Each structure stands twice: as structure tokens, then as C-alpha cells.
């Protein structure tokens, strides 16, 4: 085999090997640069968080909040993160990206509560069709409290209102 062919193959092989590594890194680029880019993009084109799970109409939403959520004002003031402000998970934040957030002691919950007063599937927080965030108690034993009132129906979350589950308090913030 001629010297030239072998040299070309040698360099070609190195190039292909590196190409593989680069492609592999491309596959996991979200690990390197975070998911923030796609997150912003989806919010821009959607206008507001896209809803996933709760396709069932949440008629329980009281009209005032829905009006509030209709205008541009709401979009500017929409909460972007969920913050745990009291309890063993204090300081935990979860970005609100239109997904349903489940709370409870079950291992597959979005926020796994390590709290004797919490049920395994305690409550969930999800955006309704208008992008208004709703908290719903999932039949917990000790109840979910919004401010001081115990929840009986899915209820919209006013900005800054504390949601109390056992010893854990969470808030939605901008």
C-alpha cells in the first residue's frame, strides 16, 4: 500500500474519531449549556407556559383571577419559579416551565417532601389553560393550606401567597 494512502487513512481516522466525540458532545450539549435556551424559546413562541397534564377543564377557577390572567400584565408578572421557603427543603427552587409539579412523599414526585405530615401524593401545582397556576390538594390526610384556608377545590395561586403542606411552605415567585 502506498505511503500516501496510509497517511490519508491515518489522518482520516483521527478526524473521524474526533468527529464522533464532537457529535457525542453535541448530543449532550444541554448538559453543558443548560436548558435555559430552549426554555426561553418555548416561552417566547408560546406566549405563556404550555400546559401538559391538566387537559380537563378546570372550571373551578374563579372569574376574577381569570380576567387578571388574561391581559399582558399577567404575562409580565407570571411567576417563573417555585421556592420552598420553610421546612427541610428550604431554599429549593423549581423552574416553572408549564409542567405539572407534584408534591408528596412518593419518590416520583417533583418535590419529594421529607415530612411526617405530608401524604405520598399530597398536592399538585399546574398551569390552567390561561397560564394561571393552580394548586390542588390530592386528597391528602392533613390537607394543603393556601394562606390560612384549607383547600377543598383546585384554587388559583395569588402571587406571593404561601402554600403550606405540613411543615413545608412554598411560594411562587417571579
| Strand partners for 126 | 134
Separation CA 118–CA 82 (nearest Å): 18
Q: In this chain, which of 29, 46, 70, 88 binds other proteins, going by CB under 8 A?
A: 88
Closest CA to 110 of 165, 46, 159: 165
Binding mask 6-45 for other proteins (x = CB under 8 A): xx-xxxxxx-xxx-xx-xxx-xx--x--xx----------
Separation CA 119–CA 75 (nearest Å): 33
Q: In this chain, which of 99, 105, 129, 167 binds other proteins, going by CB under 8 A?
A: 99
Q: Which three cell numbers stand for residue 74?
A: 399577567
Closest CA to 66 of 158, 12, 123, 130: 130
Q: In this chain, which of 47, 64, 73, 91 binds other proteins, going by CB under 8 A?
A: 91
- Binding stretches for other proteins (CB under 8 A): 1, 5-7, 9-14, 16-18, 20-21, 23-25, 27-28, 31, 34-35, 52-53, 56, 59, 88-95, 97, 99-100, 102, 107-112, 114, 121, 124, 136, 138-139, 150, 152-154
Amino acid at each position: 500500500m502506498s505511503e500516501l494512502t496510509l497517511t490519508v487513512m491515518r489522518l482520516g481516522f483521527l478526524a473521524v474519531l474526533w468527529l464522533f466525540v464532537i457529535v457525542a458532545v453535541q448530543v449532550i450539549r444541554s448538559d453543558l449549556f443548560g436548558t435555559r435556551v430552549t426554555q426561553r424559546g418555548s416561552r417566547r413562541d408560546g406566549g405563556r407556559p404550555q400546559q401538559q397534564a391538566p387537559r380537563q377543564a378546570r372550571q373551578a377557577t374563579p372569574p376574577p383571577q381569570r380576567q387578571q390572567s388574561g391581559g399582558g400584565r399577567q404575562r409580565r408578572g407570571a411567576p417563573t419559579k417555585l421556592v420552598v421557603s420553610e421546612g427541610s427543603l428550604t431554599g429549593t427552587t423549581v423552574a416553572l416551565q408549564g409542567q405539572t409539579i407534584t408534591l408528596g412523599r412518593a419518590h416520583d414526585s417533583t418535590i419529594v417532601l421529607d415530612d411526617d405530615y405530608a401524604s405520598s401524593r399530597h398536592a399538585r401545582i399546574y398551569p390552567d389553560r390561561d397560564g394561571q397556576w393552580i394548586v390542588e390538594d390530592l386528597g391528602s390526610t392533613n390537607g394543603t393550606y393556601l394562606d390560612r384556608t384549607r383547600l377543598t377545590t383546585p384554587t388559583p395561586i395569588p402571587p406571593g401567597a404561601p402554600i403550606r403542606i405540613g411543615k413545608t411552605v412554598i411560594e411562587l415567585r417571579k
